Amino acid sequence: MMPLIPAEPYPFDFEPAACALLIIDMQRDFLEPGGFGESLGNDVNQLRRAIAPTRHLLEAMRSAALTIIHTREGHRPDLADLPPAKLKRGNPSLRIGDEAAMGRLLVRGEPGHDIIPELYPIAGEPVIDKPGKGAFYATDLDAILKHRGIRQLIVCGVTTEVCVNTTVREANDRGFDCLVLEDCVGSYFPEFQEMGLKMIKAQGGIFGWVGRSEAVVAVLRAAR
Ligand code: C5J
């Protein structure tokens, strides 16, 4: 039997066979200079501190042969799936689809759209291309999880208050239990990092649990 994983608001009842690691949007466009995130005026270093613990966890999950799924936010090269509202929002100097240091911003197939080398997917790890903030919207993520008998998600990625929170809320409504790892998610805004996590675990875990990667790694090691 697997021990409980220490978490808030109470320990997470980990079922490895029914649990997937979901790594959200750890893309060069959000985490490296010259990408979409920086074009919006953000400091990418705020997100980069999530890389090392996520890599450590990813290696432990791979060793334990758990299901691992990656997502990428982005759009078709013809931008046919890009809502005009998303394109225009904020009136930025550079828009989605514009040419930048790592190719066209947030466009599939461009260098900036790809996952950072530190967390690059390996064969057998599905990559979900999503046009929105939530990983379930207009994707086959729900089908992939259901076909594999997954009922729990351990969630990492960026950004805490945008794509991580949106996905956790979508997952909650679809019946998944989500454990979000505070050291493996990142926000450009420290106050949003704090509040984004509080919103998940408040009210008895209204959207899920919040824990730390070392607790998950320790449980996986103890089970070997
Ligand atoms: C944003 C994301 N922040 N992956 N996307 O635009 O959170």
Question: Are the C-beta atoms of 155 and 131 separated by less than 8 Å?
Answer: no
**Three-state secondary structure call for residue 68:** strand
Mean local confidence (pLDDT), 156-181? 98
Q: What is the pLDDT of residue 126?
A: 98
Atom of ligand 1 lying closest to residue 166 CA: 7
Asked if residue 158 has its Cβ within 6 Å of ligand 1, the reply is yes
Residues that are catalytic: 25, 130, 163
Q: What is the pLDDT of residue 188?
A: 98
pLDDT tens column, 139-167? 999 999 999 999 999 999 999 999 999 99
Virtual torsion, Cα 70, 75, 81, 86, nearest 10 deg: 100
The rounded mean pLDDT for the chain is 97
Which of 89, 115, 159, 169 for mutating ligand 1's site (highest number of atoms within 8 Å of CB)? 159
Asked if residue 29 has its Cβ within 6 Å of ligand 1, the reply is no
Q: How many residues does the chain have?
A: 224
Whether pLDDT at 220 is above 90: yes
Asked if residue 162 has its Cβ within 6 Å of ligand 1, the reply is yes
Distance 165 CA to ligand 1 centre (A): 10
Q: Strand locations in 173-212, DSSP E? A: 177-186, 209-211
Q: What is the pLDDT of residue 1?
A: 66
Separation of alpha carbons 54 and 38, rounded Å: 21
Asked if residue 25 has its Cβ within 6 Å of ligand 1, the reply is yes
Whether pLDDT at 3 is above 90: no
Proportion of the chain above pLDDT 90, given as a percent: 96
Atom of ligand 1 lying closest to residue 162 CA: 7
Q: How confident is the model at residue 170 (pLDDT cuts 50, 70, 90)?
A: very high
Separation of alpha carbons 129 and 139, rounded Å: 7
Whether pLDDT at 39 is above 70: yes
Nearest CA to ligand 1 atom 5: 163
Atom of ligand 1 lying closest to residue 163 CA: 7
Q: What is the pLDDT of residue 144?
A: 98
Taking CA atoms, 112 is separated from 34, 76, 99, 125, 129, in Å, by 9, 14, 10, 20, 14
Q: How confident is the model at residue 218 (pLDDT cuts 50, 70, 90)?
A: very high
Element (H, E) at 196: helix 190-205
Q: How confident is the model at residue 93 (pLDDT cuts 50, 70, 90)?
A: confident
* Choice among 29-33, 90-94, 191-195 with the minimum mean pLDDT: 90-94
How many Cα neighbours within 13 Å face the side chain of 192? 15
Separation of alpha carbons 192 and 188, rounded Å: 8
For the chain, the straight-line distance linking the first and the last C-alpha, in angstroms and rounded, comes to 12
Asked if residue 161 has its Cβ within 6 Å of ligand 1, the reply is no
**pTM, rounded to two decimals:** 0.98
